[in-house]
Amino acid sequence: MATAGDSSNPITPKPTTKKRKPRKPKLAAATAQHVISILNTASSAAHTFLSQNDLYLLPSQSLQLESLLSSLPPPFSQLPSQPSLFHRFASSATLDFDQRWVQFFSVSRPNFYRLLSLLSPSLVIFLPSTIPPETALASALYRLAHGACYKTVARKFGLDSSEASCLAFYSVCKAVNDKLGDLFEFRRDLERIVVGFGWISLPNCCGALGFGRFGVDGEIFGRNGSILVQALVDSEGRFLDISAGWPSSMEPVAIFRQTRLYLGVEDSRESELLKGPTYRLSDGCSIPQYVMGDSCFPLLPWLLTPYSEQDSFGSAEREFNVAHSRAMELVSTAFGRVKARWQLLARSWKEDSSEFFPFVIVMGCVLHNFLIKWGEPLPEESVGGCLKEEELLVFEGEGDETGQTIRDALAQHLSLASMRK
């Protein structure tokens, strides 16, 4: 075996390398021309396929293909102009049950035109005559449903520019929030709300209160880059009250005490909110109207939070926390469904105008209520598309004594009801 320093080991001569002759300019030019010809043929075929089939491809498929084409160098990336997607689509999808309406705009055909009739008077005022109300609504719903950028939306819907697309989107946002804001029904529909929670064994409950989180690029809303949205929901997942736009750096209890809901209930001069009839439990105790609240909130006479690990735990406390957990799931499910239907809200907001994002979130929640009201099937709760929800800080202050008494009475009632099953 040869080892280092062994003189018997022959020295292998280095192989000589032949100098390559430089490629002839004519050959290089011919090769480049051939590549350009292939690219031109492929991109032309892709553009033709897209223009002929965009009404039958899923929006996610056409957007992905357009993204691939736009990554090519000019002139292959230039997408040809074509007539407005909505007018071609509306002429093709004329049946009420055509599922393409839901695939493209996340609403059925009847509900699209129902929404259009409600918003058109406002949109005519907000928009120039070059942007018809139906085009504005279709382009806004398409962007909200698929997260498409303004440039893409403008090209698809025959709008002059990205600025026109942006104007249409925010005009629809304002019209929805102005015209349909009364779909937050907490103050005028308590009887229906109480009945709904009664069916899930929470007598005299008027809602479940929690937070949702929506991502924002940059640090304008805190280091975590997100907005907190406080929401009250009913047993069917409708939003009853929304307060959006709070930076994630704020403590939840500080947010809570500045919201219209808290001020409305706490201010005795306000209307009789949560001051309706009491409910007589099976053991003879009576409890007032109340809301189930997440552990980040303080325990109040009208806001019942879960028992903590420091509380003495028995079967009654466990039964209450199980019921409380079911109520809190209503909040997370409602936000999950909003993000599932409106993919723009499931992603981090990347625009410079992040101060407008809370109004877009509210629009998504209002449309969620509108579609529930008119029987639109609910989407599956978003999982992969949602930002990961982080645990909020548990409120560590003292609970209200009256609130403790009401919570204990309800816990005993739930425990007795469970034993009878």
Tell me how far apart the alpha carbons of residues 156 and 115 are, in angstroms, rounded to a whole number. Answer: 21
Instruction: Taking each helix axis as running N to C, give the angle between helix 162-179 and helix 357-373, from 0 to 180 degrees, rounded to the nearest 10.
Output: 60
Give the pLDDT band (50/70/90) at residue 35. Answer: low
pLDDT of residue 26: 65
Q: Is the pLDDT of residue 405 over 50?
A: yes
pLDDT of residue 54: 82
pLDDT in tens, 40-80: 677 677 767 777 778 888 888 888 887 777 776 666 556 66
SS3 at position 4: coil
Q: Averaging pLDDT over each range in 83-97, 163-177, 352-366, which range is the top one?
A: 163-177
pLDDT of residue 42: 72
SS3 at position 251: coil
Distances (CA, A) of 48 to 35, 36, 41, 197: 20, 18, 11, 54
Distances (CA, A) of 115 to 40, 62, 104, 120: 43, 26, 15, 8
pLDDT in tens, 158-168: 999 999 999 99
pLDDT in tens, 84-94: 889 999 999 88
pLDDT of residue 269: 57
pLDDT of residue 4: 43
- What's the one-letter identity of residue 333? T
Q: How many CB atoms lie within 10 A of CB 369?
A: 25
Q: Kindly state the average pLDDT of the residues 133-151.
A: 96
Q: Kindly state the average pLDDT of the residues 229-256.
A: 94
Domain map (residue ranges) of the chain? 99-180, 185-419
Q: Kindly state the average pLDDT of the residues 14-41.
A: 62
Closest of 198, 407, 195, 209 to residue 319, by C-alpha: 407
pLDDT of residue 6: 44
Percent of the chain with pLDDT over 90: 57
Q: Which residue has the higher pLDDT, 273 or 19?
A: 273
Q: Kindly state the average pLDDT of the residues 286-294.
A: 96
Sign of the alpha-carbon torsion through 356, 360, 362, 363: positive
120's enclosing H/E stretch is: helix 109-126
Q: What is the 3-state secondary structure (H, E, C) of 126-159?
A: HCCCCCCHHHHHHHHHHHHHHCCCHHHHHHHCCC
- 317: tokens are 């406390």
Q: Is the pLDDT of residue 331 over 50?
A: yes
Tell me how far apart the alpha carbons of residues 415 and 339 are, in angstroms, rounded to a whole number. Answer: 36
pLDDT of residue 388: 41
Closest of 98, 125, 96 to residue 111, by C-alpha: 96
Paired sense of beta strands 226-233 and 290-293, if any: unpaired
Q: Is the pLDDT of residue 183 over 60?
A: yes
Give the pLDDT band (50/70/90) at residue 270. Answer: low
Tell me how far apart the alpha carbons of residues 242 and 78 are, in angstroms, rounded to a whole number. Answer: 43
Lowest-confidence segment of 112-116, 145-149, 377-381 by average pLDDT: 377-381
